Each structure stands twice: as structure tokens, then as C-alpha cells.
Amino acid sequence: METESENPIMNELERVDESQSPPSASAEPDLSNLERIFDIPLVVSVELGRTSIQIGDLLQLAQGSIVELTKLAGEPLDVLVHGKLVARGEAVVINDQFGVRLTDIVSQTERLESLRGK
């Protein structure tokens, strides 16, 4: 198991986060430090909702069973990268495939804190 000091992505994110000054209205973000990690593949998933279920109920599920989720119809979907929330959006269909139109991006500070496990 990698420790935080052995994780090159976390080290780079921490170094970039510490070196950034508060953004000004006209300043463009300096991404030169991050270019080394641009080609790293990430697992992106979209979560419709969650639920808890007892083992006995799970074993009784069959084709056609309905599992009720905690989210209400019309609530935004959660967009997760490696299990960490990065955005919210709404489901769309493009050429017979599902997609997500992003409606809210989690702030950079919240994303970095989530990556660090805070």
C-alpha cells in the first residue's frame, strides 16, 4: 500500500496547491507543473443514487425487482473520479448513449481536500 510520500500524484497536487497564489481576475492558471500527469487514466463514474440493503433482502432480488434509492427523481447525478465527488449533472442521451451535462463543479479546494481524505 502506498504511503502519501510514495504517491507521485498526491505529491504533485500538494506541491502545486502550496505554490499557487490567490488567483486574480485576469490571471490564467499555470498548468505547467501538472503536464506530467495529463496522460494518467482516471476512473470516472456517475452515481444515480445509493441505498442500504440487508443480506436477506439482497438474496431475494430477482429480475424485475425494484431497488429504491436515496435520491429523488430530478436531483442531480454525482460525477465521481476514483470515488471522489468532482461535479454534479443531469443525464442526457447522445446518439443512443447516456451522458452527463455538468451543472455544478466542486471547487478546487474541496476536490483537493477530498483527494487528501479530509
User: Domain boundaries in the chain?
Assistant: 1-38, 41-118
Compute and round to an integer the Cα radius of gyration of the chain: 19
| Residues 6-43: tens digit of each pLDDT | 555 655 556 555 554 555 555 566 677 788 888 899 99
Q: How far is CA 106 from CA 39, 103, 109, in A?
A: 22, 10, 8
Q: Residue 2: pLDDT band by 50, 70, 90 thresholds?
A: very low
- The pTM for the full model equals 0.60
| Residues 35-92: tens digit of each pLDDT | 888 889 999 999 989 999 999 999 999 999 999 998 888 899 999 988 889 999 999 9
Q: Does domain 41-118 fall into CATH 3.40.50.2300?
A: no
Q: What is the pLDDT of residue 12?
A: 58
